Every structure is written in structure tokens, then in C-alpha cells.
């Protein structure tokens, strides 16, 4: 079992009930969460309207070739972040690494990658093999292998994303005989399946020889709502096992993960869930009071209309737990979620300044010892490849030209829109 630090509060093994979050904070009506659908470039699919509970499925895009080469030499993001002892990452798809000009942008700027989709439950749980084995079976497809090989060849580290999630998880894993026409299994059977599943994820990394690439893994994703309550709808882990499914997920991950891989809880709209997350992580301890968790992942799907001080205060409050804190899926859309803005020069300048001040603030929190932060991951790098492309959220535009946002992230103030 991995040995972790002593928790500030020696909570019991079972999950405690979570009170409502800070009522003074304005709660959004629509959560933001990163889910994208990998398809061949040039064949976009329709995007369903988002609901209040579920993240929208982003619309894939074709990959236009750049129209010109940028002559000026722009510093690499990883060189800037390394000065603050942080890795900087992006999400990754096979389409990206198969296009040389995209791969070159990635290799220049990033030393960490997260697979956008390919390591989510839908992609690694094999139904036919599970039926034959009578137990859940984890398999890595060719896309996973291709991207992990790309990471190794280019000296990049990897964030694993994600194991236990209500979304992008096949419903058949919760039923008797893996048949959705059959009843749900019992709590005991589902706990056994959960343990086997988590164990196999880490065994598979070892089997393929990739364990050394991974520095973090999102064990559980998006379990809490903005009102401080646990997610219940469409969350079959909760419906079958109960609230303590979260504790067991980290218990099993702590049991089977190597010491070198930090175990994370990851969530969106974190600035509206801060109180709930603070109470939750204090329950993730074993009998000796040792944390079963290493870090808190903040998706950071932000808008230029979001209050900067509120967000940085969230990061600082969560950092006070002593756990690692990482921004895991950062993008900053123009406007607000209710009112997205056009990519005018003025709005793009505002975005550049937002990126500058956000990252400057994070560096300052880390330097002052208020937050332990070893990595920041952007959820992509170019607007045309983003799941939020309608709000121009990233560092390069649709033609892969640098934006004010890139200079903001690079901390080059005079070019960041000021």
C-alpha cells in the first residue's frame, strides 16, 4: 500500500455527508466539463444540447493546414513553466500526432500529455472479453499505444484520465452477466468489479511498460454537484454501491497504484464546489489517518467574464489541504457561459490578459508556498481543435497562429493584450 501524509482530520473510513457550498458564490446553471468525440478529421458530427447535469459532447473539427509560417521565434511554454518547477501539458489525440505541423507545436511547447478520450472507461473496458472471463477486463487499444509511444519518444510525462466516472462509462458493467437487460448486480459484486478494474488499469501500465511515463492519475472524475451534493443521476456507481463508492475507489487505487503515480480527484466548476471538495477530501483517509489521495485536479474550464480573485482564492483554499493541486483541463472562453463573445481584437486582448494574470497568480501562489502545484494542463492548444471552439478558448487560432492568449501564458506582458 502506498504511504501518504497524515490528514488534517482523522476521518472515518466511510464517506461523510457533504453540506451545501458557499451560498455567496454565484452558482452557474450549466456545468462545463471536457468530453470530446474522436473521429476522423473532416467528418464532424452534430453536438447535442448540454443539460444541467451532463457535460456537452464537443463537436469534432477538421484540421486545416497553416497558411503561413510564423517568422518570429516564440519561447516554448515548457521553458517558462520549468522555471517554476512545473510541467505543462495538453490533451492528445492520434489525429494531432499524425499531422506533422500539429505534432511540432506539441513537441515544442509541452512536456506532459493527457489522452483526450482514449483512456476513459468506454475505451478500455472490453465487453466480449469481460463476458468470457466473468469479470471486467481492461484492454489498451492501438490509439492508446500510439499516443503513449509518442509521449515516450518525445520525453513527455502522462496524466491518466480517468477510471471512475458516471459519464463515458459502459452501462453493461453494472448488470448481471454484463447484460443491460438483466438486473443490476449487488453492492458486493460491484465493489469486487471496481477493485478488479482499478487493479487491472495499473497492471496494464506495467504489462505494456508504460508505468514510468505516468506521474498522476484521475481516480474519480466529477462526483460532486455545485450545491454540495453527491451526483446521483446516471451515476450507477453511487446507485449500486452507495456514497462510500468514492472512498473505496481511492482505497483500491492506493492499494494497487505504484508510489510514483499520484492519485487525483478531478472536477469542474471547482470555484462553486470548494466547500464540498474541502470536506470530501478529508474523508479519504485510511484507519491510520493517512490520505488515500495525493491531489485535487481542477478542470479550469473558465471564461473571461469569471472573477479572477474568486478563482485564485479557490486554488489557495484547496492548496491549504496540503494536497497537490493541478489545473488539469485549462481553457478560457470569451465572455460568459450565458453569453459567449465573438473573437474581436478587443475580446482576444481581454483573453490574453486573463491568461497572463491567471498564470502569474498561480506561479505566485506556488512560490509563496500556499499551493503545491507541479503541473498545469491546457485542454488543447488551438481553437479549431477545441471542444469549446465556438468561444475561441485556446492559445492558437484556427489557423494555428499565436494569439494574445499564448503570450499571456508565456508571461510576455507587452504582447498579451495590454
Q: Which sequence positions are flagged as catalytic?
A: 222, 329
Can you tell me which residue has the cell 471542444? 387
SS (H, E, C) the chain: CCCCCECCCCCCCCCCCCCCCCCCCCCCCCCCCCCCCCCCCCCCCCCCCCCCCCCCCCCCCCCCCCCCCCCCCCCCHHHHHHCCCCEEEEEECHHHHHCHHHHHHHHHHCCEEEECCCCCHHHHECHHHHHHHCCCCECCCHHHHHHHHHHHHCCCEEEEEEEEECCCCCHHHHEHHHCCCCCECCHHHHHHHHHHHHHHHHHHHHHHCCHHHEEEEEEEECCECCCCCECCCCCHHHHHHCCCHHHHHHHHHHHHCCCCCEEEEEECCHHHCHHHHHHHHCCCECCCCEECCCEEEECCEEECCCCHHHHHHHHHHHHCCCCEEEEEEEEEECECCCCECCCCHHHHHHHHHHHHHHHHHHHHHHHCCCCECCEEEECCCEHHHCCCHHHCCCCECCCCCECHHHHHHCCCHHHCCC
If 0-12 CB within 10 Å is exposed, 13-18 middle and 19+ buried, where does residue 40 land? exposed
Q: How far apart are CA 353 and CA 405, in angstroms?
A: 7
**How far is C-alpha 199 from the geometric centre of its chain's CA atoms?**
21
Q: How far apart are CA 334 and CA 348, in angstroms?
A: 8
The residues pairing with 113 across neighbouring beta strands, listed in sequence order, are: 90, 158
**How far is C-alpha 227 from the geometric centre of its chain's CA atoms?**
21
The residues pairing with 297 across neighbouring beta strands, listed in sequence order, are: 266, 326
Amino acid at each position: 500500500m502506498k504511504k501518504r501524509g497524515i490528514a488534517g482530520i482523522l476521518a472515518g473510513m466511510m464517506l461523510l455527508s457533504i453540506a451545501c457550498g458557499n451560498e455567496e458564490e454565484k452558482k452557474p446553471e450549466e456545468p462545463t466539463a471536457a468530453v470530446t468525440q474522436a473521429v476522423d478529421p473532416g467528418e464532424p458530427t452534430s453536438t447535442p444540447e448540454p443539460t444541467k447535469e451532463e457535460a456537452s459532447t464537443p463537436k469534432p473539427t477538421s484540421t486545416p493546414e497553416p497558411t503561413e509560417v510564423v517568422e518570429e521565434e516564440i519561447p516554448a511554454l515548457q521553458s517558462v513553466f520549468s522555471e517554476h518547477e512545473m510541467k505543462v501539458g495538453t490533451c492528445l489525440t492520434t489525429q494531432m500526432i499524425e499531422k506533422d505541423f500539429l505534432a511540432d507545436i506539441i513537441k515544442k511547447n509541452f512536456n506532459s500529455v493527457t489522452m483526450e478520450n482514449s483512456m476513459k472507461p468506454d475505451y478500455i473496458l472490453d465487453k466480449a472479453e469481460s463476458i468470457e472471463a466473468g469479470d471486467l477486463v481492461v484492454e489498451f487499444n492501438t490509439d492508446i499505444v500510439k499516443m503513449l509511444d509518442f509521449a515516450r519518444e518525445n520525453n513527455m510525462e502522462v496524466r491518466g484520465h480517468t477510471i471512475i466516472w458516471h459519464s463515458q462509462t459502459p452501462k453493461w458493467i453494472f448488470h448481471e452477466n454484463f447484460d443491460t437487460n438483466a438486473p443490476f448486480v449487488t453492492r458486493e459484486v460491484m465493489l469486487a468489479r471496481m477493485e478488479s478494474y482499478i487493479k487491472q488499469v495499473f497492471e496494464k501500465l506495467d504489462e505494456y511498460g508504460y508505468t514510468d511515463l505516468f506521474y498522476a492519475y484521475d481516480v474519480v472524475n466529477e462526483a460532486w454537484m455545485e450545491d454540495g451534493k453527491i451526483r446521483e443521476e446516471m451515476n450507477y456507481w453511487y446507485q449500486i454501491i452507495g456514497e462510500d463508492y468514492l472512498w473505496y475507489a481511492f482505497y483500491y487505487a492506493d492499494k494497487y497504484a505504484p508510489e510514483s503515480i499520484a492519485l487525483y480527484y478531478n472536477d469542474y466548476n471547482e470555484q462553486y464546489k470548494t466547500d464540498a471538495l474541502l470536506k470530501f477530501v478529508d474523508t479519504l483517509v485510511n484507519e491510520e489517518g493517512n490520505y488515500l489521495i495525493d491531489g485535487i485536479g481542477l478542470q479550469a474550464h473558465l471564461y473571461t467574464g469569471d472573477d479572477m480573485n474568486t478563482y485564485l482564492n479557490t486554488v489557495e483554499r484547496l492548496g491549504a489541504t496540503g494536497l497537490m493541486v493541478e489545473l488539469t483541463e485549462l481553457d478560457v472562453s470569451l465572455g460568459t457561459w450565458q453569453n459567449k463573445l465573438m473573437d474581436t481584437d478587443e475580446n482576444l486582448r481581454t483573453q490574453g490578459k486573463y491568461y497572463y494574470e491567471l498564470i502569474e497568480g498561480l506561479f505566485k501562489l506556488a512560490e509563496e508556498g500556499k499551493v503545491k502545484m507541479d503541473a498545469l494542463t491546457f485542454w488543447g492548444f488551438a481553437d479549431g481543435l477545441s471542444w469549446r471552439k465556438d468561444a475561441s478558448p485556446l492559445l492558437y487560432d484556427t489557423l494555428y497562429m499565436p494569439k494574445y492568449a499564448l503570450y499571456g501564458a508565456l508571461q510576455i506582458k507587452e504582447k498579451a493584450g495590454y
